[in-house]
Amino acid sequence: MDWSIRLLACLVGILPMGSFVRTKRDTAGNLLNTEAHSAPAQRWSMQVPAEVSAAAGEAAVLPCTFTHPHRHYDGPLTAIWRAGEAYAGPQVFRCAAARGSELCQTALSLHGRFRLLGNPRRNDLSLRVERLALADDGRYFCRVEFAGDVHDRYESRHGIRLHVSAAPRIVNLSVLPGPAHAFRALCTAEGEPPPALDWSGPALGNGSAAVPSPGQGHGHQVTAELSALAHDGRYTCTASNSLGRAEASVYLFRFHGASAAPALALPLCALGLKALLLLGVLAARAAARRRLEHLVAPDTPPRPQAQESNYENLSQMRPRDLPAATCVP
């Protein structure tokens, strides 16, 4: 076997799959040099963790890195994050970088809580989510788009599951009328893990388990009904999970027919007496205010009244109107 063939066989043995060897020979058939050319080893891919966990009120980082088959790409690019569903879910973040720029200008950040941590030029789309809420729980998908000379794009198919945990919080507690003049109570709480609900109150004891209402649970919320409030008093709903507990109370007071008339008349009479006393106090205060205003009013001399004078028209009388002087001997 010719030594050049043996050298070629050795090169084929050490080169990776997908590579090829090109040789050059002179006119005499002697080997001049050998160039090893590797086929593109990179292709489109996304590297994301299966799940990220964080507590409500805190921040979470969603890591995402990618590879692409275009070497030294410095054209325009766009980084996008979606929620809920790949390719079709609503966007929660989007930024764009101009040709040759490593600054990705933010064009969309839902509620201002999403911020890019990674550098898309360095194949990093990692995202930070601030002030987590239970509504943020779900799946997120990263995506990158190339524009300019190369039109290409890629998006993670399975995404990242963001798991948000939260201590219980009671969001609604109400008493509603029921059949036959009865009453029922509804308690709705949210948390993750979903909380367990307990009722306590008259004739219930402490820690009576509540029965979840069919069709009332939604996401991280749980609703339980106390179907009959048989006694007056305080009813307390307690929600608890592994992260804590919360409680809220409602009070029920009813009047039971004619037997309650004396009990009803007594507070009404007391209310009437209080109203009369209040009116008397207000009248006395008004009278005292009037007396005080009279005492502090400044003394002003009375305005002179016009009076008739027998002499006021004398200056206007003509001489002939004056009576003639009469001499009496």
pLDDT in tens, the chain (329 residues): 444 444 333 333 434 444 433 444 444 444 333 333 344 457 889 999 999 999 999 999 999 999 999 888 889 999 999 999 999 999 999 999 999 999 999 999 999 999 999 999 999 999 999 999 999 999 999 999 998 777 789 999 999 999 999 999 999 999 888 777 788 899 999 999 999 999 988 877 654 555 554 444 457 899 999 887 878 889 999 999 999 999 999 888 876 654 444 433 333 333 444 555 677 777 777 777 777 666 554 554 545 444 444 433 434 444 444 444 333 33
Q: Is the peptide bond before 193 cis (omega within 30 degrees of 0)?
A: yes
Domain boundaries, the chain: 45-158, 167-252
State pTM to two decimals.
Answer: 0.61
CA distance 197 to 193: 12
Alpha carbon distances (Å) from 197 to 27, 59, 204: 91, 28, 14
Residue 169, Cα to own-chain centre: how many angstroms? 14
Q: What is the DSSP string of 173-185?
A: EEEEE-GGG-EEE
Domain 45-158 class?
Answer: mainly beta
Write out the CATH class of domain 167-252: mainly beta
Given this chain, do its domains 45-158 and 167-252 carry the same CATH topology?
yes
Taking Cα atoms as reference points, which of 146, 137, 150 lies closest to residue 66? 146
- Tokens 């037997």 correspond to what residue? 259
Report pLDDT for 72. 83
Residue type, 34: T
Please tell me the predicted confidence (pLDDT) of residue 130: 97
**Separation of CA 150 from chain center:** 40
State the Cα–Cα distance between residues 147 and 66, nearest whole angstrom: 17
pLDDT on residue 294? 61
Total Cβ atoms within 10 A of residue 70: 14
Identify which of 224, 228, 222 has the alpha carbon closest to the alpha carbon of residue 211.
224
Strand, coil or helix: what is 218? strand
Please give the pLDDT value at position 276: 59
Confidence at residue 314, expressed as pLDDT on a 0 to 100 scale: 37
Beta bridge pairs of residue 115: 128
- Is 2 exposed, middle or buried, given 0-12, 13-18 or 19+ CB atoms closer than 10 A? exposed
